[in-house]
Amino acid sequence: MSAGKTDLSKFNNDWFKPGANAFKLVLWYFVNVLLFINPLNPVSIIKVIILRMFGASIGENVVIKPGVNIKYPWKLKVGHATWIGEKVWIDNLETVTIGPNSCISQGALLLCGSHDYKKTTFDLIAKPITLHEGAWVGANSIVCGGVTMGSHSVLAVNSVATKDLESYIIYQGNPAEPKRNRTIA
């Protein structure tokens, strides 16, 4: 067993590009804090319009509840008739694609970034997330970077998806494991 040490003083993620200039990043920070994270703005259509202004691709009839935190709207694609619940955090260092008729429940986290624990420099790792049509992320669940949720798959409450989820299957646990088929009547 090797017992190296992490040295965060050598951490360098200069390679990572957020996809916007400094002005846009600062402007989005304040808009996000005032109109998205702030629970006093319950009006979904205003949020949809603002996200589109910042470069997000947002379908029709999308519902965005209060307290939602979005890292970079220009890296967000949301299909028609999708619901994003209270206090959802979309930490999209890479592209997050959410298909139509999907549901991201309260307190869920879509987490595109992590770190390489094997390197002394704790290098940043960023991977996209894709949720296909009808996918449902349960309350307080986490979808990790690089994961694809198949059509109508379900990640149950308080579960963690670290690998792809197959279509029409309900997953549960940490790490999430298949439990049963999803039948829609």
Query: How many angstroms separate the CA atoms of 56 and 28, rounded?
Result: 12
Structure tokens belonging to residue 154 = 């379900």
CA dist 86 to 68, 112, 139, Å? 6, 19, 9
Q: Is residue 176, in this structure, part of any structural domain at all? A: yes
Q: Is residue 151, in this structure, part of any structural domain at all? A: yes
Q: Is residue 12, in this structure, part of any structural domain at all? A: no
| Residue ranges, the chain, pLDDT below 50 | none
Q: Is residue 4, in this structure, part of any structural domain at all? A: no
Count of domains for the chain: 1
pLDDT above 90 coverage of the chain, percent: 92
Q: Give yes or no for a contact between 54 and 35, defined as CB atoms under 8 angstroms apart.
A: no
Please name the residue that has the structure tokens 């691709």.
57
pTM (global) more than 0.85: yes
Average pLDDT, the chain: 96
Q: Tell me, what DSSP letter sits at residue 73? A: G
Give the CATH number for residue 64: 2.160.10.10
In degrees and rounded to multiples of 5, residue 177 shows phi and psi of -125, 150
Q: Is residue 11, in this structure, part of any structural domain at all? A: no
26: containing domain: 20-181
Q: Is residue 103, in this structure, part of any structural domain at all? A: yes
